Amino acid sequence: MKAWARRLLARRLLCFVRRALPVLCFLQGVAEASEAIVSADYAGPTQRYAHAVLGDGVEHETLVITLANGDIRRFKLPVTSVFEDTHPRIVDLDADGSPEVIVVESDQSSGARLVIYDASGFVTATPYIGTRFRWLAPLGAADIDGDGYVEIAYVDRPHLAKTLRIWRYQSRQLSEIASLGGVTNHRIGERDIAGGIRQCDGFPEMILARADWAELQAIRYSDGLFETRRLGTDTSRGAFASALSCAN
């Protein structure tokens, strides 16, 4: 069990964005409302979904949410599903002061989907990819297109389809607003997910690798169009970190 313990410890990063500027960095402070979520983690290691996309065959069956008043909520998946993920992400998606939790669930028959929970449980989700052992890698959450609503970005099948998808969260529902092929943020077996969303000059940019990992890119989405800017050929984790800190 040492391998899954090491991996779970590495998952406890509560931000997609490794920087201090305000791109909806996932909340780390204590929420004021007693029912507000202040932390989230996975529990119940299981080997019932032998995909091992994150470096081992151990995933988790339970999402554990802690509230500001000390209450602990546990949400256990059915035996046909697991949380196939690096860590839960705490985000106030609707700016109401009570954050939600973003996770990745995978089904034995249908593969992965991105799911939103709140303190009461399941809120909404994207459709399953549709095939066993097909995964998605979350990138971040921000008002990506400047419309006043929060969007969630992820890479659909980062080892196969390599497609960026952007979903808007509005009225407790998710709707896909855009997609872009030819990018990735994960290699099979890596225990973390590369990239994120930065805001260096007043507008969010998504930091990703080109599909062949030969180029680091900054991608904007506005007025229904993508704009891609080349940041260099270094796609190491250090280069990603530098880009997210607005060094280039």
| Span 172-185, pLDDT tens digits | 999 999 999 999 99
Q: Give pLDDT, residue 202.
A: 86
Q: How far apart are CA 242 and CA 248, in angstroms?
A: 7
DSSP single-letter state for residue 89: E
pTM as predicted: 0.87
10 pLDDT band, cuts 50/70/90, is: very low
Residue 148 has pLDDT above 80, yes or no: yes
More confident residue, 104 or 22: 104
Model confidence pLDDT, tens digit, residues 198-241: 999 889 999 999 999 999 999 999 999 999 999 999 999 999 99
Lowest mean pLDDT among 11-15, 88-92, 114-118, 120-124: 11-15
Q: Average model confidence (pLDDT) for the chain?
A: 90
End-to-end Cα, the chain, rounded Å? 40
- How far is residue 127's CA from residue 188's CA, in Å, rounded to a whole number? 22
Cβ-based neighbours of 194, under 8 Å, separated by 6 or more:
185, 186, 208, 209, 235, 237, 240
What is the separation of C-alpha 47 from the centre of its chain, rounded to a whole number of angstroms?
22
Give the integer Cα–Cα distance in Å for 204 and 218: 9
Q: Residue 75 is which amino acid? A: F
Q: Is pLDDT of 135 > 70?
A: yes
Q: Does the pLDDT value for residue 12 go beyond 60?
A: no
Closest by CA position to 104, among listed 36, 156, 163: 156
Q: What percent of the chain has pLDDT over 70?
A: 87
pLDDT at residue number 18: 39
| pLDDT > 60? residue 6 | no
Backbone angles phi, psi at 33, to 5 degrees: -70, 140
Tell which residue, 40, 39, 25, has the closest CA to residue 92.
25
pLDDT 10s digits, 30-83: 444 678 999 999 999 999 999 999 999 999 999 999 999 999 999 999 999 999
What confidence tens digit (pLDDT) does each residue in 149-178 have?
999 999 999 999 999 999 999 999 999 999
What pLDDT does 248 receive? 85
